[in-house]
């Protein structure tokens, strides 16, 4: 019989429960061959005595080891190391001697039909650069993570916690849908019920489900230009005809929309009413009402992507088109991800009940259901007011950061950059004059600042020479230093252009 007391060290208090420590150490001893298959080990009573533990702790450890297949407990005989290691050992496809295992293929042996696109890269580099200007991400350091984790623990301690680990409603957690109804009634003026709400893993997934449900290849869809390039690519991959409409200071051009609708059968219009990405403009109330009239007259669905509704500063946000939609044209899309953190994938769709039911069926063949635990925890965060408190906090902080970025650019780059101060959102749309954004981005990277050159936002055939600069994810000190590097990069790029012009003059 092997005595384990001298081979096991228990740490109290430790990061892991004591019985788990015992499980991990005994299983390691078996893996390493110190405890051989079939050998008898101490009983739970004897091991508890040698380690100075309560016997129930060792009983729990042995029960876990037996459940995992590391040991066998034989009645009236004792505890033995299992004759075989737990786990599956696959049989080789080829048993011939000398056959070499080749590496996994680096490319497919069949055609895919799509190419990698740099503009669809969402992640930003880290480590190689001191600072990164993204295009409008929240500051994840402010995420109420402790509140969220507390709700997970509360859920885990409930008697019916196992229900949350099973299959649930395809449309999303009923509790979260009810809390979203309450929130939207209070903040957006939407007269809706739970049957009008669908929970998705982020707004992007919700829009894809809705679009793939409504559209077929060859249909026509209207988008703003410049617009959110990811959604535009989504429509392109669905095989539809994308009609691009200009965006000006009041948002998407509804006159241009009506002109297209009068000559072309349009199936869907995609619009961002608040802080349009990337230009940050807000769709005026007059244009919202006009767009509703057009959608009703031509029987066109409208995806109203109101992802930034909650992040507003000086003025009150305009009520969404969905609040005045009597004809069932609008598919209203929102998200909690922009409020909390990119990794917390929670979006919602508001639409007539028949579409919500179809979205549930459509989702079922793709994803079965959402993240039930996360949805239940988020429901409690909404109910307790934690989300509202977090919003009130970040609005003030993000406004301070917006003002700092705008003030520094206006002071140090007058005439070189131009922008409209956004009334909300997490980014600033900056036009450059006399210097190219490609040169600015390259100089910035040499100085340790990563920033995109903005070319992926360009309309077809036009170069806006503008950059979308996210300010929310950097604290004031970081933002001041990053903006200083951007200013220096711009002046360096401008100086290089001046030198080139002077050289050309000398040659002439």
Beta bridge partners of 152: none
pLDDT in tens, 136-150: 999 999 999 999 999
Q: What CA–CA distance (Å, rounded) separates 308 from 280?
A: 10
Predicted local distance difference test score (pLDDT) of residue 506? 43
268 close to 215: Cβ distance less than 8 angstroms? yes
pLDDT in tens, 282-337: 999 999 999 999 999 999 999 999 998 999 998 788 999 999 999 999 999 999 99
pLDDT in tens, 175-186: 999 999 999 999
Quickly state the pLDDT bin for 362 (edges 50, 70, 90): very high
pLDDT in tens, 195-248: 999 999 999 999 999 999 999 999 999 999 999 999 999 999 999 999 999 999
CB-based contacts of 356, cutoff 8 Å, min separation 6? 171, 195, 196, 197, 198, 349
Predicted local distance difference test score (pLDDT) of residue 507? 34
Q: What CA–CA distance (Å, rounded) separates 113 from 356?
A: 31
pLDDT in tens, 67-93: 999 999 888 888 999 988 887 666 776
Per-residue pLDDT at 457 exceeds 50: yes
Q: Which of 128, 302, 112 is nearest to 211 (CA)?
A: 302
pLDDT in tens, 2-56: 788 888 988 887 788 999 999 999 999 988 888 999 999 988 999 999 999 999 9
Predicted local distance difference test score (pLDDT) of residue 166? 78
pLDDT in tens, 118-177: 656 656 666 789 999 999 999 999 999 999 999 888 887 877 777 777 788 899 999 999
308 close to 425: Cβ distance less than 8 angstroms? yes
Q: What CA–CA distance (Å, rounded) separates 246 from 224?
A: 6
130 close to 448: Cβ distance less than 8 angstroms? yes
Percent of the chain clearing pLDDT 70 (strictly above): 92
Q: Which contiguous run of DSSP H or E holds residue 332?
A: strand 330-335
Predicted local distance difference test score (pLDDT) of residue 96? 63
Predicted local distance difference test score (pLDDT) of residue 95? 67
Predicted local distance difference test score (pLDDT) of residue 503? 36
Per-residue pLDDT at 421 exceeds 90: yes
Predicted local distance difference test score (pLDDT) of residue 314? 81
Structure tokens at 248: 């000006």
| Lowest mean pLDDT segment, chosen from 26-35, 271-280, 327-336, 471-480 | 26-35
Structure tokens at 195: 């049957």
Predicted local distance difference test score (pLDDT) of residue 100? 62
Average pLDDT over every residue of 421-439: 96
Average pLDDT along the chain: 90
């Amino acid at each position: 019989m092997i005595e384990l007391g001298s081979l096991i060290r228990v740490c109290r208090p430790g990061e892991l429960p004591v019985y788990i420590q015992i499980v991990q150490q005994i299983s390691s001893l078996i893996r390493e061959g110190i405890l051989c298959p079939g050998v008898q080990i101490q009983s739970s009573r004897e091991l508890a005595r040698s380690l100075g533990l309560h016997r129930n702790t060792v009983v729990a450890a042995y029960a876990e080891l037996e459940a995992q297949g590391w040991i066998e407990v034989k009645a009236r005989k004792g505890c033995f190391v299992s004759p075989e290691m737990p786990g599956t050992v696959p049989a080789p496809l080829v048993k011939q001697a000398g056959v070499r295992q080749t590496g996994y293929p680096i490319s497919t042996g069949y055609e895919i039909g799509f190419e990698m696109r740099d503009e669809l890269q969402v992640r930003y580099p880290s480590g190689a650069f001191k600072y990164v200007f993204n295009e409008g991400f929240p500051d994840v350091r402010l995420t109420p993570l402790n509140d969220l984790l507390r709700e997970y623990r509360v859920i885990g301690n409930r008697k019916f916690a196992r229900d949350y680990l099973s299959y649930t409603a395809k449309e999303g957690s009923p509790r979260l849908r009810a809390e979203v109804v309450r929130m939207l009634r209070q903040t957006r003026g939407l007269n809706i019920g739970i049957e009008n709400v669908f929970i998705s893993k982020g707004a992007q997934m919700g829009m894809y489900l809705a679009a793939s449900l409504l559209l077929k290849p060859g249909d026509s869809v209207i988008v703003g230009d410049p617009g959110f390039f990811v959604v535009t690519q989504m429509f392109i991959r669905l095989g539809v005809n994308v009609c691009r409409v200009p965006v000006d200071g009041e948002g998407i051009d509804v006159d241009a929309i009506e002109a297209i609708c009068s000559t072309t059968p349009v199936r869907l219009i995609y619009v961002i009413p608040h802080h349009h990405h990337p230009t940050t403009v807000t769709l005026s109330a007059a244009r919202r009402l006009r767009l509703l009239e057009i959608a009703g007259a031509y029987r066109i669905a409208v995806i109203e992507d109101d992802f930034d509704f909650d992040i507003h500063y000086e003025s009150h946000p305009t009520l969404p088109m969905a609040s005045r939609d009597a004809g069932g044209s609008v598919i209203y899309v929102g998200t909690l991800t922009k409020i909390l953190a990119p990794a917390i994938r929670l979006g919602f769709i508001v639409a007539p009940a028949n579409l919500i039911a179809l979205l549930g069926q459509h989702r079922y063949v793709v994803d079965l259901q959402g993240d039930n635990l996360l949805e239940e925890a988020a429901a409690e965060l909404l109910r307790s007011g934690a989300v509202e408190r977090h919003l009130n906090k970040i609005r003030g902080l993000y406004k301070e950061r917006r003002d700092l970025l705008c003030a520094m650019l206006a002071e140090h780059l007058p005439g070189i950059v131009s922008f409209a101060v956004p009334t909300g959102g997490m980014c600033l749309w900056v036009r450059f004059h006399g210097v190219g954004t490609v040169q600015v981005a390259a100089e910035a990277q040499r100085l340790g600042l990563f920033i995109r050159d903005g070319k992926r936002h360009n309309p077809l055939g036009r170069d806006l020479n503008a950059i979308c600069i996210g300010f929310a994810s950097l604290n004031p000190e970081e933002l001041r230093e990053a903006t200083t590097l951007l200013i220096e990069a711009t002046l360096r790029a401008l100086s290089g252009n001046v030198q080139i012009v002077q050289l050309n003059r000398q040659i002439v």
